[in-house]
Amino acid sequence: METNNMSLLNLSPSQLRKAADLKERIETLNSELSQILEGAAGSSPSGGGETSGGNGRRGGRRQMSAAGRARIAAAARARWAKIRGGQGNGSSVAAAKAKSGGKGKRTMSPAAREKIAAAARARWAKVRAAKGA
C-alpha cells in the first residue's frame, strides 16, 4: 500500500487529474453495470444500489424492519414472562422457587447423612475384601 501512495506523490498534476477522471468513470460504469444486473435478476428487495458480489444482494446481510424487531422482542418478553411465571424481572433463583412450588434448597438430616455414609463405607469394605481375597 505504501508503494501505491509513493507513486501517487510522484505523479504530475495532469496525471493526477487523469487518474481521478478514470476513477470517476470506473465508478459510474460499475453503478450502471449493477443497475443492469439488478434489472436482469428481477427487482431486489433492498431497493437498488451497489451490489457486493455476483449474487445481487447488498452488503451480504438482510435488513429487518423496526416492526419486525418489535414483534420478535415482544415474543421473547412473553416467553420469559411465561418461564418466570409472570413475575416480571425476577432472578433465576426466584423463577426456580416459583416453578418448584416455593420450596427452598432441601437439606438432609445429620442422621440420614450418617446412614448414607455408613452404607458407602460398607460397600467399599466389601470391594477391598474382594480385592484382597
Asked if residue 72 and residue 58 are part of one domain, the reply reads no
Q: Taking 60 as the threshold, does the pLDDT of residue 57 lie above it?
A: no
- Domain assignment of residue 15, given as a range: 1-62
Last residue of a domain, one of 37, 62, 87: 62
Residues 6+ apart with CB under 8 A from 49: 34, 58
Q: Which three cell numbers stand for residue 71?
A: 414483534
Do the Cβ atoms of 30 and 50 come closer than 8 Å?
A: yes
Asked if residue 92 and residue 54 are part of one domain, the reply reads no
Specify the pTM: 0.27
Asked if residue 72 and residue 53 are part of one domain, the reply reads no
Last residue of a domain, one of 62, 78, 102: 62
pLDDT per position as a tens digit, 88-107: 554 555 555 555 555 678 88
Please give the tally of structural domains in the chain: 2
**Residue 79 to residue 73: CA distance in whole angstroms:** 10
Give the rounded percent of residues in the chain with a pLDDT score beyond 70. Answer: 66
Q: Taking 70 as the threshold, does the pLDDT of residue 86 lie above it?
A: no
